[in-house]
Amino acid sequence: MSQKIKEAEKIFGPPGTGKTDRLIKKVSHLINEKGIKPEDICYITFTNKGIDEVRERLKVTKKTEGYESFATIHGLCNGFLKGRESRLVSEGDFEYWAKREDGDLKREFNGDLENNFIIQVYNLHRVSNIPLREAFTKLNERNYKWNRLEEYVRSWELYKQNNKLHDFTDQILNALDVDRFKEYRAVFLDEAQDSSWCQWQVIKKIMDKGSVEYLYIAGDDDQAIFDWNGGEVKYFLNAYTSVCKSKILEKSYRLTNQHISFAEQISSDIKHRQQKKYFSDHTHSGEIHYTDRFSQIPVKDGKSWTIMVTGAPVMSEIKDLLIRHRAWFTQTTAKGYVHYPIGAKIIAALKCFFDLQKDKYVTRSNLLSYRTLVKPKNFKPKQWEELDPDQLYKAQDLQDMFGLDFSVDWKEAFANVNNPEWNRKKKYIMDCVDQGVDIFDKKPKIKLCTIHSMKGGEDENTVVVGNMEMPFHKKYKSFDHVEKDTIKRMFYVACTRAKQRMYIYMCPSLKFRFDFDTVYRAYKERKEVA
């Protein structure tokens, strides 16, 4: 441990209080006032989104000289693998390995590397430094056979070794093994509440070099929601308490006092936490509503909305509700991919058709998308091959060349889409367009995502779906094995994303629910007393 510490601070930042902003100001101070070079600073956060924000605010890029150690923890550690004959595991590797095993394994994995139960157990065992059997017991509640899991894990490890593959956890473990961490004068760790045992070992390795003069650790223990992935909030709460001065940020720039009051009804019941109070920077009061009728939520008012759910089964139900109510939205996956409620090919085909009707130019590629779904009558497929890929076309060109007519009503053309599974969505698309919805808008006003993917984000208006899915697998019987604090923290995160309006929606058709009834009653009573 460094004996040179001049300033060490553990920053507890409730939602919207500016944790990252404080860290960035500290970075600028060290560079501009203390004369510390960027290359002598290690700034670690745990998502690409987070580090991109930091770089943007510092006006640097990934390739800016001296800022190589401003990175995700995996990015920092991956640098030690350069020059080695090893590459990152892909879904293709995973699927190929599964095919080599028995048919049950193939069905079990279903080509899903990240969300597979066996891989989750395997990774938890490594990032938490606990026995494989303990990780298995912690996550398993569906009578999965231990011997079977152990056998598959060993087989997967052998496959990685023989094919010179590594995964994200290997990046960290290999870096710890070779210990090529340089000496830094300043260390920054953001979102520290989600760090696992092995990630904290990276910080320890750097600190043990004895060169660190400035240490800043920021997080919010109430937002620790990645324990299933190895994150352990105890490390953040207990880290470097002998040298760090605690700093609690008290002013929220995002939330209203009403939202804070509501969220505190959840966080105050968390057993293991740092006590903290914070207040709003806003003069307006904000709104909180509680309903079991989706039609009462004005998600189609033209404002920006984010709807948050606990996972896939709940998301599927809410998607159907949005389609039923003719609301146009995007869905963000856990990996950050954005999906539309209809396929990209349908979107591309319709855009091509509309562009031609508006006398705009289109490419051969555009027309191929159009051809795939909207079949022109009396037009031979080989004729499409006559189109020049480097040329732009207008409707008149295509009419002169091939006799194509784009003057027909778009609904009539769209009706020719020969795909039975899209019949219901055809009506949905037509109704949305009739309502003036721009279905080609890449940033629709309504966004659907999981609570975990929304962490760190905010929106003017939010919907928190209070129903829960069964953890990890549909065969789970209950939430009894899940830490109650984990569930409370998850919904605390969800209820601290709104800047204006928040709706708590309890879907009647879904069984598993967080006890928002009690939370809302307590909030109302507190509000009436105030």
The pLDDT assigned to 418 comes to 63
Tokens of 433: 């367009």
Beta carbons within 8 Å of 5's beta carbon, 6+ residues apart: 212, 213, 214, 215, 243
Q: Tokens standing for 386?
A: 């006559």
Cα torsion 508, 511, 514, 518: sign: positive
Nearby residues of 204 by Cβ (< 8 Å), 6 or more positions away? none
Split at pLDDT 50, 70, 90, the class of 472 is very low
pLDDT the model gives residue 227: 83
What per-residue confidence (pLDDT) applies to 264?
93
CA distances from 50 to 45, 70, 110, 457, 513 (A): 6, 11, 31, 10, 31
Q: Which residue has the higher pLDDT, 440 or 424?
A: 440
pLDDT at residue 513, as a whole number: 85
Q: Name the more confident of 126 and 525.
A: 126
Min mean pLDDT across 13-27, 236-250, 373-387, 433-447 is at 373-387
Query: pLDDT confidence of 471, banded at 50, 70, 90?
Result: low
Q: Is the pLDDT of residue 507 over 80?
A: yes
For 215, phi then psi, to 5°, come to -130, 125
Q: What is the mean pLDDT of residues 198-224?
A: 95
Task: For residues 329-349, give the mean pLDDT.
Answer: 76
- For residue 69, the SS3 value is coil
Among 48-57, 182-191, 434-443, 450-459, the range with the most confident prediction by mean pLDDT is 182-191
| CA gap 95, 235 in Å, rounded | 35
pLDDT given for residue 482 in this prediction: 57
For the segment 491-520, the average pLDDT, to the nearest whole number, is 93
Residue 44 has a pLDDT of 94
Checking if the pLDDT of 1 tops 80, the result is: no
How many Å apart are CA 70 and CA 166, to the nearest integer? 23
Are 42 and 69 spatial neighbours (Cβ–Cβ below 8 Å)? yes
Per-position DSSP letters for 356-422, written without gaps between them: HHTT--B-HHHHHHHHHHS--TT--GGGGGGS-TT--B-HHHHHHHH-----S-HHHHHTT---GGG
Cα separation, 227 vs 238, in Å, equals 16
Predicted TM-score (pTM) of this structure: 0.85
Answer yes or no: is pLDDT of 456 > 70. yes
Q: Higher model confidence: residue 334 or residue 449?
A: 449
The amino acid that residue 77 corresponds to is C
Query: How would residue 110 be classed by pLDDT, with cut points 50, 70 and 90?
Result: low
Percent of the chain topping pLDDT 70: 86
Q: Reply yes or no on whether the pLDDT at 372 is more than 70.
A: no
> Is the predicted pLDDT of residue 474 greater than 50, yes or no?
no
- The DSSP secondary structure of 133-156, one letter per residue, reads HHHHHHH--S---HHHHHHHHHHH
130 exposure class (CB count in 10 Å sphere: 0-12, 13-18, 19+): middle
Q: What is the mean pLDDT of residues 156-168?
A: 90
The answer to whether 219 touches 193, Cβ cutoff 8 Å, is yes
Nearest CA to 132 out of 142, 121, 143 is that of: 121
* 342 — pLDDT class (breaks 50, 70, 90): confident
503-to-265, 284, 416 alpha-carbon distances in Å: 16, 17, 40
Q: What is the pLDDT of residues 412-434, one digit of tens each?
A: 767 766 666 667 777 888 888 88
Section 498-521 average pLDDT? 92
- Residue 337 in this model has a pLDDT that exceeds 80: no
Find residue 393's DSSP bridge partners: 362
Q: State the virtual CA torsion across 376, 380, 385, 390 in degrees, nearest 10.
A: -30
Tokens of 517: 């009834």
Q: What's the whole-number mean pLDDT along residues 30-56?
A: 92
Cβ–Cβ < 8 Å for 157, 88? no
Between these two residues, 333 and 496, which has the higher pLDDT value? Answer: 496
| pLDDT (average), residues 451-457 | 89
Give the residues across from 339 on adjacent strands. 331
**Residue 164 identity (one-letter amino acid):** K
Averaged pLDDT, 356-366: 87
Looking at every residue in the chain, the average pLDDT score rounds to 85
Per-residue pLDDT, averaged over 222-245, amounts to: 91
Residue 45 pairs in a beta bridge with 72
Asked if the model's pLDDT at residue 93 lies above 80, the reply is yes
**How confident is the model at residue 483, as a pLDDT?**
67
Q: Which pLDDT score is estimated for 360? A: 92
pLDDT of the residue at 473: 41
Structure tokens at 259: 């939202």
Q: Is 272's pLDDT higher than 70?
A: yes
Tally of CB atoms within 10 A around 404: 20
The answer, yes or no, to whether residue 441 has pLDDT greater than 50, is: yes
> Quick one: 228 exposed, middle or buried, by C-beta within 10 A (0-12, 13-18, 19+)?
middle
Q: Which two tokens stand for residue 329?
A: 């939205």
Highest mean pLDDT among 154-158, 288-292, 353-357, 474-478: 288-292
Terminal alpha carbon distance of the chain: 48
List CB contacts of 119: < 8 A, sequence separation 6 or more. 113, 156
Residues whose CB falls within 8 Å of the CB of residue 202, separated by 6 or more in sequence, listed in order = 44, 73, 76, 77, 172, 175, 176, 181
- Run of H or E including 103: helix 103-109
Report pLDDT digits (tens) over 27-42. 999 999 999 999 999 9
pLDDT attached to residue 183: 93
